[in-house]
A = this chain, B = another copy of it.
Amino acid sequence: MSLADDLAAQQRSISVAEFFERNKHLLGFDSPTRGIITTIKEAVDNALDACEEAGVLPDIYLSIRKQDRDIYRIIVEDNGPGIVPAQVPYVFGKLLYGSRFHQIRQSRGQQGIGISAAVLYAQLTSGLPTLIISRTGPDQPAHLFSVRIDIETNEPDVVREEKVEWDRTHGTRIQIEFRSTLAAKKRLIEYLKYSSIVNPHARIMLEMDDETVLFDRVSDEVIACPESIKPHPHGIEIGQLRRMLHAGSGTLEQFLTGTFSRVGKKTAEEMCRGAGLSCTAEAHTLSPEEQRRLVETMQAVKVPPPPVSRCLSPIGEDLITRGLEKEFSMDFIRARTRPGSVFSGHPFIIEAAIGYGGKLPPEGNAQILRFANRVPLMYQQGACAITTSVAGITWKNYGISQAGLPTGPLLILVHVASTSVPFTSESKDAIASIPEIEKEIVLALQDLGRDLKVFLSRRDRNRLQEDRARAVCAILPDLAAKVSEIVECELPDISTIEGRIMRKLVVRKRVNEGVVTLEARNYTDTAASLSLYTISRQPGEAASPPPDFTTEHEGEFTQVWQVSLGAGEVWQTCYGGSGRGMIEVRGVDPRTLVLVDQDDDMDT
């Protein structure tokens, strides 16, 4: 027997389950520590997707309890539409099985691997099957399944199946046990926090042995489930076209308009003409050479881009901003949702946000929050196209220092929403380096960078002006004293001048020959609303404009004016009287206020 025969005897087919059991790190099960996060992530992804499809507000319950030794029991329960009993074993007990792989629309799960990987990991490390309860409606019984994966065939092995009582009217509950640790608890909580930022309609509760955490919904609006679209002709390769042609029937024109998005009768005719083919030819009879010509023409003919807004569900600038403001205290925050774009026929949208200052750590690398299809990415930051795009920008153009990544009190959020997110591995930790995606990320961040630069230079200018103003104000009293000495006048009150220089709100009372003048000048650059009180033993007479209300209490008269002042505006009221008594200003930050009561000195 030749060596080739020897070698042939060793050749074997490798089952997908066997492959991923060996390469479990590809699925996010590279360490016991990660196991819990990966499992929770996959189960929560499924729950959110299913609720979105069913149009219900997600209510997800998670539980992590330590069992014997290093075995943990994870329970994930949702109020989704449930899974029909016949499908349960396949959804959980077979890798590469799912409903979303063949649909062209944004969804969290795409690969048909996620949760069955956790089932695989459980039977490998604890030897235990996974328990699933699912119920599809109040008039249906709940079914309990105990499922394993047959490693050699990648087919489900149902250990037990029975009808059970369950208090939810619809939903799914899985219970899974594997070897793990809770060492990454902080990261798990972070993952849930970020998930809740981009899924404000979800209520997620996590119970652990020592702690219960609730991420309640902040919005009662159900997220619209993105629609599936047909493939776009520009993203089609000859191999795919061939399969589509073989599967189809009817004329070439019917095939083109029926199979692809954005291809109407006119475009189909143009494609046929360009390829030298008849519109009425039977689609499945094309020769390989004709197929080749057709695919080339399909790329060349102008076709509008795919209907991005229908199949994608971006988070939105407002929601991103509010979500970040809720979790981080920052001086500046701005978000952008880019227009839709396409790579290899897959529509995608980039969203980004930049936050600056406040309580962000002033030192070290910027904090980068990465999201793909509304799912936070928690691992492999260094391997992600988002990170390399961030590092590739010249941040000093925007007033930010940089050492590879930008540094300082900076937060960067990037969300990639696509019908097919190109992850670098099945564990969906990082986005592959796709030029079209990287370009859009860079554009979004540069756009935000310009806004940040405006903010920073205004802040710097303000600081500079304030420094100068302080310097001027410091010498002002001496200057005033000197001038009054020279011109032999009384020392003037310079506090209103200071107020003006320091850009404050100046409120002043002057009394001149029985007429009291109250004046408010807004030297700040924002509008201000204030309440101006005078409290005196004598009522003011015929004020113009009159006070908004007056009171008398034990011989003390209080007059109140409600004043709204735009930046730079002046307000005044006059009334007869001695002007004796107090004035008081409420409703403004005392640090921005200069109050000048010229009556004071005479009175006291």
Contact in complex: A3, B96 (CB < 8 Å): no
Tell which of B10, B23, B53, B86 touches A99, judged by Cβ atoms closer than 8 Å.
Answer: B10
Minimum CB–CB distance from A212 to chain B (whole Å) comes to 30
Chain B residues near A238 (CB, 8 Å)?
Answer: 124-127
Contact in complex: B12, A99 (CB < 8 Å): yes
Minimum CB–CB distance from A240 to chain B (whole Å) comes to 7
The verdict on A183 contacting chain B, using a C-beta distance below 8 Å, is no
Minimum CB–CB distance from A73 to chain B (whole Å) comes to 16
Contact in complex: B239, A4 (CB < 8 Å): no
The verdict on A114 contacting chain B, using a C-beta distance below 8 Å, is no
Chain B residues near A30 (CB, 8 Å)?
Answer: 422, 432-434
Instruction: Tell me, in angstroms, the Cα distance from A432 to B426 when the chains sit together.
Output: 13
Within 8 A of B (CB), among A43-88: 50, 53-54, 81-84, 86-87
Q: Write the A99-120 contact mask toward B (1 if CB under 8 angstroms, else 0).
A: 1111100000001100000000
Chain B residues near A21 (CB, 8 Å)?
Answer: 239-240
Tell which of B8, B53, B152, B240 touches A3, judged by Cβ atoms closer than 8 Å.
Answer: B53
Minimum CB–CB distance from A587 to chain B (whole Å) comes to 52
Minimum CB–CB distance from A151 to chain B (whole Å) comes to 6
Q: Interface centre among A19, A291, A434, by most B CB within 10 Å?
A: A19
Kindly report which residue of chain B lies nearest to residue A82, judged by CB atoms.
B4
Known: A81-B4, A99-B12, A124-B239. A22 touches B425 (CB 8 A): no
Chain B residues near A151 (CB, 8 Å)?
Answer: 239, 243
Kindly report which residue of chain B lies nearest to residue A55, judged by CB atoms.
B3
Instruction: Tell me, in angstroms, the Cα distance from A403 to B365 when the chains sit together.
Output: 13
Instruction: Tell me, in angstroms, the Cα distance from A31 to B437 when the chains sit together.
Output: 13
The verdict on A420 contacting chain B, using a C-beta distance below 8 Å, is yes
Tell which of B18, B103, B170, B432 touches A25, judged by Cβ atoms closer than 8 Å.
Answer: B432
- Give the number of copies in the complex: 2
Known: A5-B136, A14-B96. A426 touches B26 (CB 8 A): yes
Contact in complex: B7, A81 (CB < 8 Å): yes
The verdict on A380 contacting chain B, using a C-beta distance below 8 Å, is yes
The verdict on A98 contacting chain B, using a C-beta distance below 8 Å, is yes
A contact residues, range = 35 or more
Chain B residues near A102 (CB, 8 Å)?
Answer: 10, 12, 14
The verdict on A215 contacting chain B, using a C-beta distance below 8 Å, is no
Q: Write the A228-257 contact mask toward B (1 if CB under 8 angstroms, else 0).
A: 000000000111101100000000000000
Known: A25-B422, A86-B8. A242 touches B288 (CB 8 A): no
Chain B residues near A388 (CB, 8 Å)?
Answer: 382
Known: A30-B432, A237-B124, A238-B126. A98 touches B424 (CB 8 A): no
Kindly report which residue of chain B lies nearest to residue A170, judged by CB atoms.
B4
Chain B residues near A4 (CB, 8 Å)?
Answer: 81-84, 136-137, 170
Contact in complex: B12, A97 (CB < 8 Å): yes
Chain B residues near A96 (CB, 8 Å)?
Answer: 13-16, 19
The verdict on A11 contacting chain B, using a C-beta distance below 8 Å, is yes
The verdict on A94 contacting chain B, using a C-beta distance below 8 Å, is yes
The verdict on A604 contacting chain B, using a C-beta distance below 8 Å, is no
Chain B residues near A575 (CB, 8 Å)?
Answer: none
Instruction: Tell me, in angstroms, the Cα distance from A102 to B152 when the chains sit together.
Output: 12
Chain B residues near A291 (CB, 8 Å)?
Answer: 127
Minimum CB–CB distance from A163 to chain B (whole Å) comes to 16
Kindly report which residue of chain B lies nearest to residue A84, judged by CB atoms.
B8
Chain B residues near A423 (CB, 8 Å)?
Answer: 23
Contact in complex: A7, B239 (CB < 8 Å): no
Chain B residues near A292 (CB, 8 Å)?
Answer: 127
Known: A21-B239, A383-B430. A99 touches B16 (CB 8 A): no
Chain B residues near A242 (CB, 8 Å)?
Answer: 127
Instruction: Tell me, in angstroms, the Cα distance from A49 to B68 when the chains sit together.
Output: 45
Q: Would you mind naming 30 contact pairs between A and B with Cβ atoms under 8 Å apart?
A: A2-B84, A2-B136, A4-B82, A4-B84, A4-B137, A5-B84, A5-B136, A10-B103, A11-B97, A11-B99, A13-B96, A14-B98, A19-B96, A19-B111, A19-B112, A22-B101, A22-B420, A23-B423, A25-B432, A26-B424, A124-B238, A125-B238, A125-B239, A127-B242, A151-B243, A152-B243, A380-B383, A382-B388, A383-B430, A424-B425
